[in-house]
A and B are shown apart, each in its own frame.
Chain A
Amino acid sequence: MKNLKIWIQRYKIGPLIGLILICIGLTLMSDRFFTPSNLMNVARQVSINTLLAVGMTFVILTGGIDLSVGSILAFSGALAAGALAVGMNPFVVVIYACVLGLLAGTVNGLFIAYGGIAPFIATLGTMTLFRGATLIYTEGRPIRAVEETFSNLGGGYVGPIPTPVIIMAAVVILAWFILTRMTIGRRVFAIGGNEDAAIFSGIKTNLYKVLVYGISGLLAGLAGAILTSRLMSAQPTAGTGYELDAIAAVVLGGTSLSGGAGGVLGTLVGALIIGVLDNGLNILNVSSFYQQAVKGIVILIAVLLDRRKAARG
């Protein structure tokens, strides 16, 4: 038993065990949960949040936070729909959305790194700014985005697997590689662990801060394109509150909010926990009012367990 505990701590699989337990519980409670089609459904549902949460992981690892991802998602989604409407090539539209997100994220990074504004405040400001810009651009009305090739991005399949799930998997693997195998990752962890030590070690911390907010924005832009494609329209209020789900996924996955420790695999598990809960509670016909409350309780319990572990270690 003691060995098991050490093992769980060393490989940080606490969240994974939690996910498995929830899945077992739901399987016992309903025969509609553990079916291939439902699991694919869950995977597709979590893909948007996972993309945002992966970007958020980079940001939180440096000790920052990005509240603007929901707004960036809406903004780039709306502009992508607009570009599609005037006949832009659907592939270029996706790149366009990503670049818009990257630019928006870079704005965040510049305010934070060179303007010296606290990440919470800076991204709170841009969250409102980008939402406003979206409302101005859309004039508060949805923009239709009906185009066959483009619709494949959010609604299509590669073999039996939904396209967004493939994209999600690719992004998670790439992010994992960057964070664990590349110099960028080492520096991101170092900045979150001890920013002064990072500067003393010759790391251009400001540059890397701009970079992580840029990554977060880029993934929000990509998520915006996927959501627009899936809904076949861009909603001016799309993505409202998504930043909180993304933060929840990161924290559930064991990444420290003060930075320096964690990773994207945990974040993926965190996003899956949220997705499985949403899906399971739906299957069990729990009213959406209760769903919110249950989700909140799960997050609190998970973080509490994590705290206790940290306090003892």
Chain B
Amino acid sequence: MPVVEMQGICKEFPGAKVLKNVNFQVGKREIHALLGENGAGKSTLMKILTGIYSKDSGEIIYQGQPVTIDGPRKAEELGIVMIHQEFNLVPQLSVAENIFLGNEAPFTRFGQIRWKSLLEAATGYLKQVGLKVDPKTPVEELSVGEKQLVEVAKALSKKAKLLIMDEPTAALTEIEKEKLFSIMNNLVDHDVSIIYISHRMEELFQICHQVTVLRDGEYIASRSIAETNMDELVALMVGRQVEDRFPKVAAALGEQILKVDNFCNEKLADVSIEVRAGEVVGIGGLMGAGRTELARAIFGLDAVKGQIKLNLGQKNLHRGRFRHPQEAIGHGIALVSEDRKDEGLVLMGSVLENLALSTLEKRSRFGIINRRRERQMVDKHVQRLKIKTASVTQPVSSLSGGNQQKVVFGKWLETEPGLLILDEPTRGVDVGAKVEIYQLINELAGRGIGILLISSDLPELMGMSDRIYVMYEGKITGHFTRETITEENFMRCATGGVR
């Protein structure tokens, strides 16, 4: 008997049918992957299951009984708990306080918290998730992986029977991920079922039993993991065959365009790298290895000691470092940052305003914007990058993740960079859009642009780079060509092993 059965679920928002007659069921002791591109309806379906949205029609049968889930409280009472991608933890409070946040009642006497029993209970849950920290530790002192486990402990404290995890591994290191997986398996042994949402296909085959694919708000198929493969799943998701997940085209390499010599600051220890025209240079490593910090230092965001030499035509030669991104941009560097929502886009701004933001001077005279030329520029990028938007005056927040990322790309392409730094360019982007981004990387490299590709997605890094530097604790610990890199080599360097 399935734990939960959602039948014929429909949901319509003004102007859009988000879910069309979707069926979804999760068996007991099952880790069930919910797969689909952004906008396929996964999160809407989960929001209905957790009582955040109400459904227009359809039925939910939970442990054999038809139920009405009319709010998050009700979902929790039933034991349906969701762990969101962005954690719901209060950084300043202790681990124990966070676990029982809002559910302190059993540990109070006349409104006063009985710390001893609260800490004891917390210790019990921490043990279950295999987290060895003092429950009195403030959450802000924990690593991302540890925070994730606190979220799991919090879910367990709510007597979760059905756990929904949204991209739980997005920010975890390899080791933390393995640990999370073993805890998930352990939970399943204790009669918990898990719905697992992730864009990382490799993981599904590692941890899940069953998979359901949604596309455009419709139920497409369910498969047992043992009986399917990655190509089939990708085809189900995008509705067509994707021949090559990493369509790498080797570009002709030109002269050296970037040389970084001995970059040192708080996060970087004597980092030297070089990039040639038309080359895709990967930077790999675990979270916190200093990859983003290297990009920030090159781009003039952080102070750094050392030298940078650019060779992008005569006037772009520069030694020393940049003091502000404005200088770096002026010299032909562009940075697609890791965090699209916090650093890449002005979310409440329109598609047009975002696309134009880095190159306002180009189309203005005495500070007055030539709106006709601006419109032409914007239309050009919308067409070329196939940005799906109702109109360019639409706020960029209304676009899907993949299309938002294309807007960021368009903004930077308009600066006509000679060196493009991509920091996790495909994070949170669906399969179809990922391939489009890879093709764009190829096209840009083919035009002689040097690309510095930072990625935590190892297959992507290995599939797209001509050369790869591996970082560990702010140092370059490995340097490989496309031919010499293997996963074992990479992991050894990324975890601090010798070169």
Contact = CB atoms under 8 A, between A and B. Distances in A.
B364 A183 contact: yes
Contacts of A200: 299, 301, 325, 335, 337, 343-344
Chain A interface secondary structure, helix, strand, loop or mixed?
helix
Given A197-B342, A197-B346, A186 B353 contact: yes
A198 interface: yes
B324 A194 contact: no
B357 interface: yes
Contacts of B349: 189-190, 193-194, 260
Chain A CB within 10 Å, residue with most, of B337, B346, B349: B346
A189 B353 contact: yes
Nearest to B342: A196
A183 B367 contact: yes
A6 to B, nearest CB: 10
A187 interface: yes
Contacts of B361: 183
A181 B357 contact: no
A199 interface: yes
A252 to B, nearest CB: 20
A186 B360 contact: yes
Interface string A193-229: 1101111111110000000000000000000000000
Contacts of B343: 194, 196-197, 200
A238 B18 CA distance: 58
Nearest to A187: B360
A39 interface: no
Given A182-B364, A182-B369, A183-B367, A199 B346 contact: no
B387 interface: no
B149 interface: no
Given A182-B367, A186-B356, A186-B357, A260 B301 contact: no
B364 A190 contact: no
Interface string A63-80: 000000000000000000
A198 B347 CA distance: 11
A250 B361 CA distance: 29
B358 A201 contact: yes
A3 B347 CA distance: 26
A203 B346 contact: no
Interface in B291-328: 299, 301, 324-326, 328
Contact of A202 (B325, B356, B369): B325
A201 B347 contact: no
Which range contains the number of A residues in contact with the other chain? 20 to 34
A89 B492 CA distance: 79
Contacts of A181: 368-369, 371
Interface in B252-269: none
Interface string A122-152: 0000000000000000000000000000000
A190 B357 contact: yes
A202 B358 contact: yes
Contacts of B330: 202
A203 B326 contact: yes
B346 A202 contact: no
Contacts of A201: 325, 357-358, 411
B280 interface: no
A62 to B, nearest CB: 12
A190 B356 CA distance: 11
Nearest to A10: B393
B345 A197 contact: yes
B346 A198 contact: yes
A161 interface: no
A184 interface: yes
B367 A193 contact: no
B342 A194 contact: yes
A197 B301 CA distance: 12
A215 to B, nearest CB: 14
B235 interface: no
B348 interface: yes
Interface of A: 181-184, 186-187, 189-190, 193-194, 196-204, 260-261
20 contacts: A186-B353, A186-B357, A186-B360, A186-B369, A187-B360, A190-B346, A190-B349, A193-B349, A196-B342, A197-B357, A198-B346, A200-B337, A200-B344, A201-B325, A202-B325, A202-B326, A202-B330, A202-B358, A204-B324, A260-B348
Given A181-B368, A181-B369, A198-B357, 14 more contacts: A182-B367, A182-B368, A183-B360, A189-B346, A193-B346, A194-B342, A196-B343, A197-B342, A197-B357, A200-B325, A202-B329, A202-B330, A203-B357, A260-B349
